[in-house]
A = this chain, B = another copy of it.
Amino acid sequence: MSAAALDRHRLSVCDILAAIEDGALAPADVVAESRSRITARDAEVGAFVTLADETASAIGGPLSGIPVGIKDIFDTSDMPTEMGSSLYAGHRPRFDATLVSMARTQGAAIVGKTVTTELASLDPAGTNNPAAPGHTPGGSSSGSAAAVAAGFCAAAYGSQTGASVVRPAAFCGIAGFKPSFRLLPTVGMKTFAWSLDTAGLFAASVRDVALFADLLTGRALRVRDELSLAGLTLGFYRTKLDDSIEPAMVDALDRTRRAAEKAGVRIIDLDEPGALEEGRDAHTAIQGYEASRALMHEQRSGGDSLGPKVKAILDDGAGYTPEEYDIARRAARVARKAANGLFESVDAIVAPSAFGPAPKGLSSTGDPTIAKLWTLTGNPVVNVPGLATENGLPLGISIVARFGRDARVLAIAAGLERTFSGV
């Protein structure tokens, strides 16, 4: 049995489920195709660290036939969970993380564990970017984004403490969904900084990630109708970091603006309020303080075996006092309120997902600075794929909505994605 859904370069959640519904495809076909692609091509991508022995999606359920990759910081009872760190070599959790259990309960086929940077931090792990070979796929959810971009699986789990979902999605030219803080349970996911860590999802398109999120959580998140963008107000977000935005991204933002205007959107410019500028600065103290506590034992045990970037974050973080941490937390609270206030005048915010396309080489996962603000504030963000540089490197645009408006951010992002593809 075959179907058009499997002829494509990337696996689409929407297309696969439609083909299964139509009887054109059986769940086992998709899983077999996924395994065969991984076997054939993962040596050049390096997206997976462990493959599941058996991924039969036998129990049925709404996600039956959807091959899923799991970032290797989520506990799995049937595969090692190594956190990208030699400290966790061969580590076998007794039970699945909550999100892993939820995927299995809904019938998804977990095909393997994907490469993460060490302890989900900034030291690159060697995964290549399928959409821009020789360039970083971003991080820390490097393997998950690469696995979806390479067409190895239809969805994948990531996590974001700074910009580790939005950035790899942007660099790999796929959809990334960082939901409102705590929409997706993080139980059984390795902690880096407890007030920032956010589980997120990857899929080929915004519609795909929305349908996957809907079926995974039982929440009404799918893009139900072709939302008309006409009449919406989008705010283009301007910050003091804008001087660092690369020309290709400036151009992508211009194209986004023109496409939105053509679709009947009212555009306004939003200058970053001071409270949000201070919130972005507070991220460093909160992440450092919490990471140095969350990973206190690993830091003591790991010593110089830890990667230099994660080691620096932990060493610096240990220097923050509780008083400095409390000041940063208060700044974060003020920033969250200010973020809410932005949505008095706009339906959603448009911002760059990164300063530019994926940097060349695999020695850095890129800069999270511009996107990490929305992790601190907890607002839902979707990376919209579809734009690229003249040389074909993906450029990602972020749509940000009010806290708790996850269905809305997905719907608006899907509308924008459609204007990019010209459909």
Q: Are A293 and B191 in contact (CB under 8 A)?
A: no
Give the interface segment out of A61-69, A93-101, A161-169, A268-276.
A93-101
The listed residue (B88, B217, B297, B322) touching A219 by CB distance below 8 A is B322
Q: Are A293 and B195 in contact (CB under 8 A)?
A: no
Number of copies: 2
The listed residue (B77, B217, B290, B321) touching A322 by CB distance below 8 A is B217
A82 to B288, CA, bound (A): 31
The listed residue (B98, B290, B293, B298) touching A293 by CB distance below 8 A is B98
Known contacts A95-B297, A98-B294, A102-B296; can you find 10 more A-B pairs with CB under 8 A? A77-B297, A87-B94, A98-B296, A100-B297, A102-B293, A105-B296, A187-B191, A187-B194, A218-B321, A218-B322
Q: Are B88 and A91 in contact (CB under 8 A)?
A: no
A298 to B219, CA, bound (A): 23
What 0/1 readout, one digit per residue, does chain A (279-310) give for beta carbons within 8 Å of chain B? 00000000000100110111011000000000
In the complex, chain A residues 305-348 whose Cβ is within 8 Å of any chain B Cβ? 321-322
Q: How far is the CB of A132 from chain B (nearest CB, A)?
A: 36
Question: Does A182 have its Cβ within 8 Å of any Cβ on chain B?
Answer: yes
Q: Are A101 and B322 in contact (CB under 8 A)?
A: no
State which size class the interface on A falls in: 20 to 34
Those 10 A-B pairs whose CB atoms lie nearest each other, nearest first: A101-B296, A95-B297, A96-B297, A187-B294, A101-B297, A187-B191, A219-B322, A98-B293, A185-B293, A218-B322
A-side interface residues toward B, CB under 8 Å?
77, 87-88, 91, 94-96, 98, 100-102, 105, 182, 185-187, 191, 194-195, 217-219, 290, 293-294, 296-298, 300-301, 321-322
Residues on B with C-beta less than 8 A from A88 are 94
A101 to B77, CA, bound (A): 26
What are 28 inter-chain pairs, A to B, with CB distance below 8 A? A87-B94, A88-B94, A91-B94, A95-B297, A95-B298, A95-B301, A96-B296, A96-B297, A98-B294, A98-B296, A98-B297, A100-B297, A101-B296, A101-B297, A101-B300, A102-B293, A102-B296, A182-B194, A182-B195, A185-B194, A185-B293, A185-B294, A186-B194, A187-B194, A187-B294, A217-B322, A218-B321, A218-B322
Q: How far is the CB of A101 from chain B (nearest CB, A)?
A: 4
